[in-house]
A and B are shown apart, each in its own frame.
Chain A
Amino acid sequence: DIRMTQSPTSLSASVGDRVTITCRASQSFSNCLNWYQQKVGMAPKLLIYAASTSLSGVPSRFSGTVSGTDFTLTISSLEPEDFATYFCQQSCTTPFTFGPGTTVDVK
């Protein structure tokens, strides 16, 4: 199985900050990497798929990039509604494993 790691585990930020979350896989693969946002008590929400394609309706401040085996989710300017936990997921091969999550909370 492909194991996914995320860094940092958590971070504290303020509204307006630029936030970067990194996801790394135990095996290299192309661009089958997805990002989800989950708020407490709610189902996750897909933000980005295929590493860098934003789902329709997702604010443009969210972006995804890939560099080698490192996948990055960037929030260019944090909004109040962005405080949440973010998960990456690989969808290259089953089982479609998730990373452990990165929690973004208020500084």
Chain B
Amino acid sequence: EADIYQTPRYLVIGTGKKITLECSQTMGHDKMYWYQQDPGMELHLIHYSYGVNSTEKGDLSSESTVSRIRTEHFPLTLESARPSHTSQYLCASSELRDRIQETQYFGPGTRLLVL
């Protein structure tokens, strides 16, 4: 069972608010990811990290930002939430040396609703 946690699980917030979605893993994985998931759509990679102080943008353009100050922690921040940000956000991690197998372990997700 994966040890990767996301908080909050559900969040309803008004337009213009700043929010931070938390993601933590206790497996010591170097690589971490943020995906955006909408019903009937494929998962879109929005950010990833190879390790501390490493952050990269994914395929889907996102107004969010991420940071990686500690190996186990990979928070995602929206400076000013908008209704278009309403979605489910999934955090995942994998071992850096596991380049081929790329087994990613997922958190339970944060379901965000921006009013």
Q: Do A and B come from one complex?
A: no
Binding site for B on A (CB under 8 A): none
Binding site for A on B (CB under 8 A): none
